[in-house]
Amino acid sequence: MAIERTLILCKPDAVSRNLSGEIISRFERRGYLIVAMKLMQLDGERARKHYAEHDGKSFFAGLVDFITSGPLVALAVEGENAIEGCRQLMGATNPLKADVGTIRGDFAQSIGRNMVHGSDSHESAERELAIFFDAKDFVTRKHDLERWIIEK
C-alpha cells in the first residue's frame, strides 16, 4: 500500500461554474483525504513557477493567463495511490477523449478549460505542493486514513 499526497487544482473555470464542491466530493467519495485546501487568486509569478516545464512553448502564456484569470481551489489530497487514482478520476486532458463519469468527461468544455489539474508523478506532486502550501497548512488525518483502510 502506497500512501501518497498530490496536488489537485479546481481551476478558474470550475470555480466560476460553481463546480468546486462537486469536484472535491468526487475525490472524497473515492476515499481520498483533503489534508490542505485554499481558495486563492494565483499571481503570475506563482503560475509561471507552477507551469515552468512548459516555459518557452507556444501555449505557455495562455496557461498562465487562464490560471490567473480568476480564483481557484488548491487541494492537497492524500491516500492510497493518490497520484494515479486522482488522475483517473479527472479523466483525459482532452475532454472529448475523457470517459463519461470522469470530472473532465462530465464537465469540461475544451483542453484549455478542463476544470482540474493533478500532479502527474511523485516528483511533480512534491514540487507543486510546495508552490501552493507551506508545511503549516497541512493537517494530520492519520486516524481517518487508518479507519478508511480498515473499512475497505
Residue 54 bears catalytic tag: no
Of the residues 50, 54, 117, 143, only one is catalytic, namely 117
C-alpha cell read off for 113:
478549460
Q: Is 71 helix (H, G, I), strand (E, B) or coil?
A: strand
Q: Is 97 helix (H, G, I), strand (E, B) or coil?
A: coil
The alpha carbon torsion through 113, 62, 73, 42 (nearest 10 deg) reads -160
What size, in residues, is the chain? Answer: 152
- Return all residues near 92 (Cβ < 8 A) that are at least 6 apart: 98, 99, 102, 104, 105
Please classify residue 70 by burial: count the beta carbons closer than 10 Å to its beta carbon, then call 0-12 exposed, 13-18 middle and 19+ buried. middle
Residues annotated catalytic, as ranges? 117
